[in-house]
Every structure is written in C-alpha cells, then in structure tokens.
Chains A and B, each alone.
Chain A
Amino acid sequence: MAMREAEQDRPSLGLQLRDLVLRQEGVLVAIMVISVIVLSITSNNFLTTDNLLNQARLLTEVGLIALPMTYIIITAGIDLSVGSILGFSAVMLGWLWQEQGLPLELAIVACLGIGTLAGLFNGLFIVYVKVPPIIMTLATLALYRGLAYGISQARSARGYPDWFFRFGAGDFLGLPTQLWFLIVGAIISGLLLARTPFGRGLYAIGNNEVGARFAGIPVDRYLLMIYTYAGFMSGLAAFVFTSRVSTTRADSGTGLELDVIAAVVLGGTSIMGGTGTITGTMLGLVLIQLLKNGLSLSGVKGDATIVVIGVVLIFAILTNNFIQKRLQRA
C-alpha cells in the first residue's frame, strides 16, 4: 500500500529525473555517433561485422563487472578489488582443476563461488565493521592478488580441453558466446535497477544513506547483496577471461578496476552516488571500446589512444555537468 502511494507521487519528480537521464545518455549517443562516423572514415576496417564482433568479445569481462559496479557507485561506494578477485578466481579455477584434480566443470562452479565469497567478504566488512568501501576494497585488492600469487606459485595453468574455449573464443547463435552473458546480465541488472524497490533503494542509499535507513530500506542487506554480486560477476568474468586467453595467470585482470570504473562514470553514474543507469554504463563501455579499437585501426599508437580516451572522458563529464546545471536553472 505504502509502495503504491510512493509510486503515484513520482511522476512530476520522476519525469524530471528521466528527462535528465535521457539527456545524459543522449550526450553519449551523440559522441558515439560522431566517433563512429569519424573512425569509419579514417579506417576502412573499422565498421565491419567481424571487427565489431571481435570488439564485443574483448569488452565482455569489463562489461560484466561494470553491471554491479554501477549499483555500487550509485550507492556512493566503490569496489577496487574486482580485478584482483578476477585474478584470484581464475587462479583457483586453474589450481583446483590442474593441481587438485577437480573435474573442470566443478572447478568452474568453484571459480564462481570463490568470486562470490570474495565479494561477500568485502561486503561483510563494509556493512558490519563499517570499513569505508574504498579502504576495504583497497585492502582486498592487495590481499586477493597476493593469494593469487601465493596459491599459484606464480605458475600458469594451461592445456584446457577444447570445449572449455567455447565460452571465451567460440560463437553461439552468431554472436561471441560470452556476449550472451553480458546481454542477459545487462537486461536483468537494468530491470532490477529501474523497476524494483531494490533499485529505488539503491538510489535512496546513494542520495542519503541515513534517510534511507529511516525510510525503512534494508540498507545493510542491499549493500551486502551488491558487493557480493560484484564478487560473483568478477568470478564469472574470470571464467570468461580464462577461456578467452587460454591460460590462467596470477596477474590476470590487473588494472581492470580502472577500466570498469571509467565505463561506469562515462555512462553518467555520479561518483557521489544517487544517479546512474545500466543503459548509460553499457553506452560508456561500448564508447570506450570503440574509441580504443577505432583509434588503433586509424594508426594512432597505444599511448596516444589512452590520452584521447582521457580527453573524451573529461569532455563527456563536463558536458553532463553543463546540462545538469542548465536543467537545474530551468
């Protein structure tokens, strides 16, 4: 009953909010269209099905983790340990299978489970011990990476059977297999965020955590859920990554957290919390990958590509801020 009333109250404010979000995403779409036009003029090989599908393969791991990261940043939190969880889960996958003789199918399940536990561990400390997310995940960034090196003895596990590579290097219904994980994950995550009390709860936490508590939102449970979700997705990304590059290494996914955060922030999610959408994150993700790929194909060298992406990030954020201010005045 209370819920229905809340929903009826939304339109005026909700319409305004949606307008704003639409415009943020509108800016991204505009930048993307311009980039695609410019890049396909500078390189004939850019706008081809093969190339674009291949890029989809490369962005999946970042994309999978960007989904829970959007949730986390909406609540004004951050998770810096996702790259390390990926490395740790990947190493456990290889170690359990090769050193401990577990069947590969079970090792994959264990890889997902270990990622989930690693995320849960972050969540428990953030929620119940009240360690700030940035501190906690900075600590586990080091801890999980250390475990990955320690357990694997810095050796890589190799020689996976052919069926294993179907997930990272194969196709399903005409698309790279792993892209299906991302599509399904994005739809579910997007619906949960936009259409459920859980999603509204996350925005509330990001806007005002104390207020959210007083409003009866189960803040602790939600926070625990999203950090655990981040762990699970990092485990899933670890599996996809291993299947794509064909070997598990203790340094897998180093620095991945920054790519993930860049995609989320470029997608219009404010690091201060309270705003953001999955659609925006996916647009940010695709835009960064298109730029990386397109610039490289146009003959721009690796180091210059990073500079251009940095400039685009700043430009997109400035534009968003400008529009936001104009809207507030209007």
Chain B
Amino acid sequence: MLKRTLIALIVLALVAGPLAFAAPAKAQDDLPTSPLECPGEEMAADATMAADATAMAEEAMTYDGGQPVDAPDKAGQDIRVLDLPKLIGIAYFSATTKGMNEAAEELGNVEVVTDAPTEANVDDQITFIENYVTQGIDGIMFASNDPVAISPALRRALEGGVHVIGFDANSEPDAREWFVNQATFNGMAKALVDSMVEEVGADGSVAIITSSLTAPNQNRWISEMLAYSEKCYPDLNYLETVPSEEDQQLAFQRAQELVNKYGDELDGIFAMSSVAAPGGADALTQMGVCEDTVVIGISTPNQMRPFVKNGCAPKVVLWNPVDLGYATVYVMRAVVDGTLLPGATSVEAGRLGTLPVINGSEILLGSPTIFTTDNIDDFDF
C-alpha cells in the first residue's frame, strides 16, 4: 500500500515537474500598456523624442505621492541620506551612486550613505529601510526590487518623518514623495524594438534574456515591447524569454543555449539588464555567430563598447545612470528645502537644468539614449 502511494507520488512528481516548466514563464506584468506611435518615415532617434512628447501630454495628472509626517525642518541645513540601490557591486548602480556623490559634493550640505543587499532581494531591502529609519536618517533614496513589497516599509519611514524619493525602480506612488524616472517604459520599449527591427527586419525571430522573472522594471518593459510590437510589427516573432538573475555568466550561458536551440532561426536577442547584454554579446562573439544573431540590450557604454564595435551588439539603449543618481539627490534636496512641493511641474537639477514632472509625482530624466559606433566613445560610465 505504502509502496503504491510512493510510486503514485513519484509519477505525480515526474509529470508535474515538466508540466510546470513546459509553459515558459511570460515575464510580463498585467498592468495596462500604452504603446507609442509607430515610426512611419521617421528615424528611430526622432521617435524617442516623440516618446517624450507623449509623456508630456499625459502630465495633467494630479500629485499622487505621499508626504512625510512632521518631518523636521532642515531647509538649507546638513542632511544625511541613504542611497539604497537594488543591490551593490554592479556597474550600473555604481554609476548611480557616483552621480549621487557628485551632486552631494556640488551641494555641499548632503551626506550620501550607500548601503544595500549584495543580492537583488526585496526582503533584505525592507530590513535595510527599517534599520536606517531606526538609526535616524533624513532621507531614503531607493530603487526597489519589488514595488508592492517595499511599500509598507517606506510608508513607515514617511510616518517617521523621513523623506523618501525613488529612482530607477518605483514603489506604489503613495509610499514615496517623488520618483525620478530615467525614461518612460513605453519610450524605452519603442527604442528597443525599433532598434531591433532596423537590424533584423520586421519579420525576424527574437528571444529575450531578462534579469529575474520577477523584476518589475524588466517585466514592464517587456509588456510594453510586446504591445508596441503587436501594434507596429505584428510579424516580429518572439520565441522565448529566459532569466539570467543579474548574473553575467548566466546570461552568457543563456545566450549560448538560445543559439544552440534555435540556430539560424534566431535573429536577435533582447538583453534586458546591464549585465545580461554584455554576457549575451560576449557569448555571440565567442561562438562567432554575430552575422546571424545580434544583441540589442539595455546596458552601459563601457561594458558594451567592444561589442558595439565588433557588431555583435550594434545598438545599446540606456539613459545616463550617473545623471539619474545626480538628479535624485537634487530632488531630495529640493524636497527637504521645501522648493519642490506637490503640484509642481518642474524641478531644477544642477547641470541637468530643468526636469519636467510627469504622471503626477514622477520626474522625467529625459529621452533614452541609443549608443552606436558613432557616439559610444563620447560616454564614460
């Protein structure tokens, strides 16, 4: 009897396992998408300008961020603020931290403390927030690993009189005051898909290497990319989405697996994180298949320079993360000083000039930049 139960269990496990894997995880969220206009005769570069125009047009929303309770008045005084990226130790977040320190030095009255988990884990981030609020800090600048899970901890910070600003990856709007948005999701999606279509044609077959399958930014971009492709390039064929967990070596392996699995059929790979792109491009380079397959990804110029130059990753889409960190500190300072209040339509951000407010409580850094052989040497981060 027991043996029979056991056999039944084994069979169940053997069947259930593959079944669960058979349906590839879709890695997108269920939020509504808003694909931008198709390029028509315009060039891709102009299209990203259009992205901003659309974003501006949507700005009529009222302020939906939260407010700290009885925050001490520190206008013009020294403040100590926490820089809490998704994780520490990768080039991208080192760049945002660099920008924050630049701004802090310029302002002279801001001290930035950088501390974050070594793995992109929201549970650890919550612990960091609670410890720093207990320790006593004037402000928190976070990039969330999960927009919902991080929100209760941030709300407690607001209730404790701490200023909270998001950058890179948002929380729920009422759990922070402002969110510095590096680029709109639909703008990025359009830039990525248009770049890909220029390389592989409107009927190519593509795969996606994302970071973790639960990463909110990545899922949002993928949702927008799929919506935009459906609207503008219905023949673009999406083969598969695979995770690479913020791990360059794993991305390398995933790209190899994709090439081995699909061969010539695979025309392009979207690489959705700053480590997935170099990992994937490196794999294609080493396999010598860049003639047939290219990587179009989101990454930093320094990491991608060799692959842009050897043609394996002809276009890289990103904003400037140093500017992102820089702007975040200026926004924090403006909030503490009381110069950026709910309802404002723009904010001054040092050398970046005036940045617009969009979607009620977001500050838009600018349009995404597309790095190619023509301009990549102008950037160093």
Chain A residues in contact with chain B, CB under 8 A? 43, 45, 48, 50-51, 54, 58, 121, 124, 128-129, 143, 146-147, 149-151, 153-156, 158, 169, 241, 245-247, 249-252, 254-255, 292-293, 296-297, 299, 301-303, 306
Binds A, one of B18-26, B48-56, B91-99, B350-358: B18-26
B27 at the interface (CB under 8 A from A): yes
Q: Which of A58, A153, A245 has the most CB of B within 10 A?
A: A245
B135 at the interface (CB under 8 A from A): yes
Would you list which residues of chain B between 223 and 239 have a CB under 8 Å from chain A?
Answer: none
- Quick check: B148 and A302 within 8 Å, CB to CB? no
Could you list some 13 contacts between A and B, CB below 8 A?
A43-B135, A45-B134, A50-B134, A124-B6, A129-B6, A146-B17, A150-B20, A246-B148, A249-B122, A249-B149, A254-B119, A296-B132, A297-B135
- Quick check: A54 and B134 within 8 Å, CB to CB? yes
**Bound: A301/B82 CA distance, A:** 11
- Quick check: A154 and B13 within 8 Å, CB to CB? no
Chain B neighbourhood of A252, CB < 8 A:
123
Query: What is the chain A residue whose CB lies nearest that of B27?
Result: A154
- Quick check: A246 and B152 within 8 Å, CB to CB? yes
Write out, one digit per residue, whether chain B residues 114-155 have a CB within 8 A of any chain A CB (1) or not (0). 011111011110111011101110000000001011011000
- Quick check: B213 and A154 within 8 Å, CB to CB? yes
- Quick check: A249 and B131 within 8 Å, CB to CB? no
- Quick check: B123 and A245 within 8 Å, CB to CB? yes
Q: How many positions in chain B have a CB within 8 Å of any CB in the partner chain?
A: 44
Chain A neighbourhood of B123, CB < 8 A:
241, 245, 252
- Quick check: A51 and B118 within 8 Å, CB to CB? no
Known pairs A293-B131, A297-B131; list 7 more (Cβ under 8 Å). Answer: A154-B213, A158-B148, A245-B146, A245-B149, A302-B115, A302-B117, A302-B128
| Total contacts A-B at CB 8 Å | 107
Q: Interface SS of chain A: helix, strand, loop or mixed?
A: helix
- Quick check: B26 and A153 within 8 Å, CB to CB? yes
Chain A neighbourhood of B88, CB < 8 A:
302-303
B60 at the interface (CB under 8 A from A): no
- Quick check: B148 and A247 within 8 Å, CB to CB? yes
- Quick check: A150 and B23 within 8 Å, CB to CB? yes
- Quick check: B131 and A156 within 8 Å, CB to CB? no
Chain B residues in contact with chain A, CB under 8 A? 2, 6, 9, 13, 16-17, 19-21, 23, 25-27, 29-30, 88, 115-119, 121-124, 126-128, 130-132, 134-136, 146, 148-149, 151-152, 212-214, 219, 243
Query: What is the chain A residue whose CB lies nearest that of B28?
Result: A155
Query: What is the chain A residue whose CB lies nearest that of B30?
Result: A155
- Quick check: A146 and B135 within 8 Å, CB to CB? no
Instruction: Please provide the 6 A-B residue pairs with the shortest distance between their CB atoms, ordered closest to farther.
Output: A150-B20, A154-B213, A296-B131, A245-B149, A154-B25, A247-B148
Closest CB of chain A to B367's CB: distance in Å?
29
Closest CB of chain B to A86's CB: distance in Å?
11
Query: What is the chain B residue whose CB lies nearest that of A242?
Result: B149
Chain A neighbourhood of B6, CB < 8 A:
124, 128-129
- Quick check: A151 and B20 within 8 Å, CB to CB? yes
Q: Which of B123, B126, B146, B148 has the most CB of A within 10 A?
A: B123
Given A121-B13, A301-B115, decide whether A251 and B214 contact each other with a Cβ distance below 8 A: yes
Chain B neighbourhood of A154, CB < 8 A:
25-27, 212-214, 219, 243
- Quick check: B30 and A303 within 8 Å, CB to CB? no
- Quick check: A147 and B20 within 8 Å, CB to CB? yes
Given A154-B27, A154-B214, A254-B121, decide whether A51 and B148 contact each other with a Cβ distance below 8 A: no
Query: What is the chain A residue whose CB lies nearest that of B131?
Result: A296
- Quick check: B126 and A245 within 8 Å, CB to CB? yes
- Quick check: B25 and A149 within 8 Å, CB to CB? yes
**Bound: A169/B118 CA distance, A:** 25
**Bound: A213/B160 CA distance, A:** 59
Chain A neighbourhood of B9, CB < 8 A:
121, 124
**Bound: A121/B12 CA distance, A:** 11
**Bound: A241/B124 CA distance, A:** 13
Closest CB of chain B to A90's CB: distance in Å?
11
Partner of A302, one of B116, B135, B146: B116
Given A45-B136, A147-B16, A153-B25, decide whether A251 and B115 contact each other with a Cβ distance below 8 A: no
Chain A neighbourhood of B21, CB < 8 A:
146, 150
Q: Which of B26, B131, B214, B219 has the most CB of A within 10 A?
A: B131
Chain A neighbourhood of B124, CB < 8 A:
302
- Quick check: A247 and B146 within 8 Å, CB to CB? yes
**Bound: A289/B149 CA distance, A:** 21
Given A121-B9, A156-B148, A245-B123, decide whether A146 and B136 contact each other with a Cβ distance below 8 A: no
Query: What is the chain A residue whose CB lies nearest that of B153?
Result: A245
Chain B neighbourhood of A255, CB < 8 A:
119, 121
Chain B neighbourhood of A158, CB < 8 A:
148
Query: What is the chain B residue whose CB lies nearest that of A254?
Result: B121
